Structure 1
Amino acid sequence: MAPQTWFITGVSSGFGTEMALSALSAGDHVIGTVRSTPSRSKAASSASAVSAIESKGGKILHLDVTDSPACSSVFKEAESIYGQVDVLFAVEGLSESLARETAPHNTRVLLVEPGAFRTNFLSAYVLPKTLGNKYAPVNGVLEKFKGAKGMQPGDPAKAAARIVEAVRGTGMVEGWGKKGSGDGKAMGVGAVGVGQVLRLPLGKDSVERYEVKIEALKGDLEMVREAAVSTDYD
């Protein structure tokens, strides 16, 4: 298939780096963004990631994603490099309503929901000097984060490879279109990969959470079914 052009935010570390390298290895074009001034503690690793991406042909632009006007101008600059952007990858919380809103414009959405992957996520948060006893539940979660740092089971390089395959309809996801699926097919937003599924859980822990939630939803539905279907006009 013809190379696709990816616009990937935050390529200086974590999933952003792995996504850029994986897409480049698949033969696609990559335009990645980094903050203009990374923190001192991250400067060396950021420079290494940028160097690795550029050595494989990736293009790097500077962008602070909290600067809305800059986002628009940088995206236009990205489009001018290869003439268009085919795939946008951003680590953002997006709802499934976005998929329905963009489907008429032939824009496909894939919600990637990863489990615990060995990125810098658990070391990136900043703690206040004290949270106090009333935030005990938060303290407990943060302590778990500390204990899990560097022990996460997920390999971000493998996750990036699965995402690229999902977008391209190749590798382990080839044939999704033949199997049929749920939300993506119902919205008619594609043929294979992204167009056939809306959500892509990654990691055994993510799949297990999916299964627990699905069973809980089934239980709720069966419990309230009679009341739920009693509200239409006679």
Structure 2
Amino acid sequence: MNAAPTPTPASAPAPDARRWLITGANSGFGAAFTRAALAAGDVVVAAVRRPETMAALAAGHPDRLTVVRLDVTDPEQCRQAVDTAERTHGPIDVLVNNAGFGTVGAVEETGEDELRYAMEVMFFGAMRLTRLVLPSMRRRRSGTIVQLTSMGGLLAFAGVGTYCAAKGALEQASEALAAETAPLGIRVLIVEPGAFRTEFNGALQTARSISDYDATVGAVRDALDAGHGKQPGDPDKAAAALLAALDLPNPPLRLALGDDAFGAIRGKLAAVAADLDATEHLGTGAAITF
């Protein structure tokens, strides 16, 4: 009789373990992705602003979880995070650009400094880290870049213009990136969640209020406040969907998450198609060309 195989210690990487770098890994989707990757036997470098918040999880996975301090708006910290990940565990297989925050406020209510900060965190920070991991991925002709945008990366409504602008910029740059890197064996996955039970609604950056926008932006602000903790989506199930998508033989460019995301995105695509149909006679053929 053959002896039973020796179980792999909980802290030891699986033989085929992937190496992840996840930003914003101590809360919300980032925390769920980190737990899922560890449960799969993978190795994670968790990049967070407050490393002490992950002390307990790190102690339970000493060989597979490394926590580094990272403010994605700091170019030197970004470089150090990538260097630490590659020096400690080897080349990064999966980069997850998850760090971000919610904003609410009308376009007029939002100050330029608030708009710039949102873009710095959710667009420039993500693109900075993406550029840092690409040289190693190109040399190996492998790797995956996961960009956490939102259903707001494809659509917008009153009060969330700043947030959607940052996510939309990341979405468009990532679509171009996917076309550039696919021949090099590097995959890009844009993740577009709807409403999930994360800290998002409870930690919104709120712009100053102008009463003329109470009926539109005010209603959105109130709905976000009231919905905190009651969102339908489960972050752990989102993480399971992400891991399943990464294992697909022909992975998609986009992964929407949540019934609300699918409905809203389909509605946006239908509205764009309707606009095209309604104005085709004005913008094509003899109406617009010689």
TM-score (norm 2): 0.62
1:20–1:53 Cα contact (<8 Å) kept: no
Aligned residue number for residue 132 of structure 2: none
SS, match of residue 188 in structure 2: coil
Aligned residue number for residue 88 of structure 2: 81
Deviates more, 1:58-67 or 1:212-221: 212-221
Q: Which amino acid is the alignment partner of residue 63 of structure 1?
A: L
Aligned residue number for residue 175 of structure 1: none
Structure 1 residues 164 and 54, CA gap change in structure 2 (3 angstroms) = farther
Aligned residue number for residue 22 of structure 1: 36
Structure 1 residues 54 and 212, CA gap change in structure 2 (3 angstroms) = farther
Aligned residue number for residue 161 of structure 1: 240
Aligned residue number for residue 172 of structure 1: none
- Find runs of 4+ consecutive structure 1 residues off by over 6 angstroms: 231-234
CA RMSD of aligned residues (A): 2.4
Aligned residue among 66, 69, 72 for 1:62:
69
Deviates more, 1:74-83 or 1:155-164: 74-83
Aligned residue number for residue 154 of structure 2: none
- Segments of structure 2 that go 5 or more residues without pairing to the other structure are 1-14, 99-121, 123-166
Structure 1 residues 229 and 54, CA gap change in structure 2 (3 angstroms) = farther
Aligned residue number for residue 107 of structure 2: none
Structure 1 residues 50 and 22, CA gap change in structure 2 (3 angstroms) = farther
TM-score (norm 1): 0.76
Deviates more, 1:209-218 or 1:197-206: 209-218
2:24–2:47 Cα contact (<8 Å) kept: yes
Aligned residue number for residue 221 of structure 2: 142
Structure 1 residues 70 and 145, CA gap change in structure 2 (3 angstroms) = same
Q: Which amino acid is the alignment partner of residue 47 of structure 2?
A: T
Aligned mates of 1:165, 1:90 — CA distance in 2: 18
Aligned residue number for residue 107 of structure 1: 186
SS, match of residue 60 in structure 1: strand
Q: Which amino acid is the alignment partner of residue 24 of structure 1?
A: L
Q: Which amino acid is the alignment partner of residue 39 of structure 2?
A: S
Structure 1 residues 224 and 82, CA gap change in structure 2 (3 angstroms) = same
Identity over aligned residues, as a percent? 37
Structure 1 residues 139 and 161, CA gap change in structure 2 (3 angstroms) = same
Aligned residue number for residue 159 of structure 2: none
Aligned length: 200
Q: For residue 3 of structure 1, report the CA deviation from its aligned partner.
A: 1.6
Q: For residue 139 of structure 1, report the CA deviation from its aligned partner.
A: 2.5
Aligned residue number for residue 209 of structure 2: 131
- Segments of structure 1 that go 5 or more residues without pairing to the other structure are 38-45, 170-190
Structure 1 residues 50 and 110, CA gap change in structure 2 (3 angstroms) = farther
Structure 1 residues 80 and 101, CA gap change in structure 2 (3 angstroms) = same
Aligned mates of 1:54, 1:87 — CA distance in 2: 22
Aligned mates of 1:106, 1:218 — CA distance in 2: 33
Structure 1 residues 143 and 22, CA gap change in structure 2 (3 angstroms) = same
Aligned mates of 1:100, 1:221 — CA distance in 2: 25
Q: For residue 98 of structure 1, report the CA deviation from its aligned partner.
A: 2.5
Aligned residue number for residue 271 of structure 2: 216
Q: For residue 215 of structure 1, report the CA deviation from its aligned partner.
A: 1.7
Matched, 1:192 2:250: yes
Q: Which amino acid is the alignment partner of residue 79 of structure 1?
A: E
Aligned residue among 13, 17, 27 for 1:13:
27
Structure 1 residues 224 and 50, CA gap change in structure 2 (3 angstroms) = farther
